[in-house]
Amino acid sequence: MPTVIGTSLDSASGPHLEIFRQAGFDFREVSRQLDLRKNDQLIEALCDADSVIAGSEPYTPSVIEALPKLRVIARSGVGYDAIDLAACDRAGVVVMTTPGVNHHSVAEHTMALLFGVARDFPMADRRVREGRWKRTRGPRVMGSTLGIVGLGRIGQAVATRAIGVGMRVLAFEPKPSQEFLEEWPVELLSLDELFARSDYVSLHLPLTPETKHLINAATLARFKPGSVLINTARGGLVDEAALSDALWSGRLRGAALDVFEVEPLPLTSPLLQFDNVLLAGHTAGIDNESLRDTFKMCAEKTIELYRGGWPVECIVNLRGVSGWRWARS
């Protein structure tokens, strides 16, 4: 009986429990007393695991090497930058994501952050609670310009919502969907043009060596003065020190961030000093529907692998590998 450990948020309930049970798998949720960001405690949690429904905890080479029984890491989401793919390749561990299940959740969260900064939240709420009656104003969202960096599923979901509230939408995307562009009024631009023309810039790219610190001192200098940066993708896309400098100087009107270079965000971060920065704790992709669908997909694709299938649409490593088997020879 294969053992699956759930380390992802709220994995103690959901459709995956019955799916695994019917397939003869033993599913257990990890002890929440463990700090899974620490290698030794993650190894302790997964020592008996054949597979894991993973959160954002780091799967370093030392973790992978210490878990010879592990066959599958099914990431409950689409980001996998916390997983060392080369180490998984060497160990023959399949890494999967769950594409197409959380784009609506991230898009809603992105728009919530955008409107929050635009309408002076959370400061407006805080002032009322503290007895400070101050009425503020800012530019209207309708008629403003949103620049979307990365026009995949999530970027497209953000674009349609922004168009729906009357925003002009620009995008940077090396491999755009022509079908989407024919249906929706989105203008494709270079990054520099997008930065210069956008009132809001929203990031929707994976974190790769090429995209790390895409937002840095040089690129921030090309932003339209008074614009706002929104990041619901990956923290490593943004050089936080450079962002802080741009906020201090007043070049940016504000920022809205759901993800950070180090998570949880350290209490020493200069980002905490700004009233015009709206923060959330890596929750953009989490709503009831996305959790249900991502756990369902994790279970179904894990079972497919166990039965000899190869769900290529979900697998992000072991390129060119053939003949993979669950049972090690």
Is the CB of residue 230 less than 8 Å from the CB of residue 200?
yes
Would you say residue 181 has pLDDT above 80? yes
236 shares its domain with 131: yes
225 shares its domain with 265: yes
Is the CB of residue 299 less than 8 Å from the CB of residue 15?
yes
Beta strand 168-172 with 186-188 is: parallel
74 shares its domain with 55: yes
Is the CB of residue 181 less than 8 Å from the CB of residue 197?
no
Would you say residue 287 has pLDDT above 90? yes
Averaged pLDDT of the chain? 96
- What is the per-residue pLDDT for 329? 67
Q: Is residue 315 part of a domain?
A: no
Count other Cβ atoms within 10 Å, centred on residue 97.
24
Beta strand 252-257 with 227-231 is: parallel
Q: Is residue 272 part of a domain?
A: yes
pTM of the model: 0.92
Q: In the annotation, is 234 catalytic?
A: yes
Q: Is residue 129 part of a domain?
A: yes
The Cα 269–Cα 249 span in angstroms is 17
Q: Is residue 80 part of a domain?
A: yes
Instruction: Give residue for tokens 């503290």.
Output: 130
DSSP 1-39: --EEEE-STTTTSSTHHHHHHHTT-EEEEPPTTS-TTSH
Helices then strands, each counted (H, E), the chain: 12, 12
The pLDDT tens digits for 182-201 are 999 999 999 999 999 999 99
CA angle in degrees (0–180, nearest 5) for 255-149-173: 175
Catalytic residue (one of 65, 263, 289, 313): 263
- What is the per-residue pLDDT for 125? 94
What is the domain count for the chain? 2
Torsion angles phi and psi, residue 251, rounded to 5: -60, -40
Confidence band for 155, pLDDT divided at 50, 70 and 90: very high
32 shares its domain with 168: no
60 shares its domain with 33: yes
DSSP 48-108: T-SEEEE-S--B-HHHHHT-TT--EEEESSS--TTB-HHHHHHHT-EEE--TTSSHHHHHH
Confidence band for 292, pLDDT divided at 50, 70 and 90: very high
The Cα 11–Cα 54 span in angstroms is 9
175 shares its domain with 72: no
Q: Is residue 118 part of a domain?
A: yes
Give how far Cα 75 sits from Cα of 26, 101, 296, 327, Å.
18, 12, 12, 21
Would you say residue 315 has pLDDT above 80? yes
Q: What is the CATH number of the domain that holds 39?
A: 3.40.50.720
Would you say residue 176 has pLDDT above 70? yes
Q: Is residue 316 part of a domain?
A: no
- Give the sign of the dihedral formed by CA 203, CA 208, CA 213, CA 215: negative
Q: Is residue 329 part of a domain?
A: no
Q: What is the mean pLDDT of residues 225-246?
A: 98
223 shares its domain with 151: yes
Q: What is the mean pLDDT of residues 143-156?
A: 98
131 shares its domain with 144: yes
229 shares its domain with 97: no
- What is the per-residue pLDDT for 171? 98
272 shares its domain with 126: yes
Q: Is residue 263 part of a domain?
A: yes
The pLDDT tens digits for 3-18 are 999 999 899 999 999 9
How many residues does this entry show for the chain?
329
The Cα 278–Cα 124 span in angstroms is 12
The pLDDT tens digits for 243-276 are 999 999 999 999 999 999 999 999 999 999 999 9
38 shares its domain with 178: no
Catalytic residue (one of 71, 234, 240, 300): 234
Which of 262, 279, 296 terminates a domain? The answer is: 279
173 shares its domain with 149: yes
Q: Look up the domain containing 133 and give its range.
A: 103-279
The pLDDT tens digits for 71-121 are 999 999 888 999 999 999 999 999 999 999 999 999 999 999 999 999 999
Is the CB of residue 256 less than 8 Å from the CB of residue 277?
yes
- What is the per-residue pLDDT for 296? 98
Give how far Cα 244 sits from Cα of 119, 124, 255, 288, 308, Å.
21, 22, 10, 33, 50
